[in-house]
Amino acid sequence: MKRIGFLLKVKQELIEEYKEHHRKVWPEMLEALSKAGWHNYSLFLHEDGLLFGYFETPVSLQDAVAQMEKTEVNARWQAMMSPYFELPPGARPDQMLVELENVFYLD
């Protein structure tokens, strides 16, 4: 299983709304993530909007994202979430994940 860490930036003025959406993630989105092989998925948010995400997958980050791109629910979720992030115009959050290098792991 590959461990993936990534960064994104949530607009500071929208942090509370962003957190509220994640208290109520759609069941079909959760199911799609599981079916696409996203395991132990967590998001950590700093007060300045810096978002650290972590998940485990049997494939690369690019392949895990590609699996989700095949689902209709992901397209709806990304469209809803895009305004919350500091992104280039027209970009979706899942297209802008900055993968971090894993430099240490203790099992």
- Which two tokens mark 101? 């290098």
Domain range spanning residue 67? 2-100
Return d(Cα 75, Cα 72) in angstroms, integer.
5
| 107 part of a folded domain | no
Question: Can 21 be counted among the known catalytic residues?
Answer: no
Return d(Cα 26, Cα 24) in angstroms, integer.
6
| Closest among 21, 90, 89 to 51, alpha carbons compared | 21
pLDDT digits (tens, 9 = 90+) for 27-73: 999 999 999 999 999 999 999 999 999 999 999 999 999 999 999 99
Tally of structural domains, the chain: 1
pLDDT digits (tens, 9 = 90+) for 73-101: 999 999 999 999 999 988 999 999 999 99
Which one from 21, 22, 39, 46 is the annotated catalytic residue?
22
Does this model's pTM top 0.85? My answer is yes
| 106 part of a folded domain | no
| 33 part of a folded domain | yes
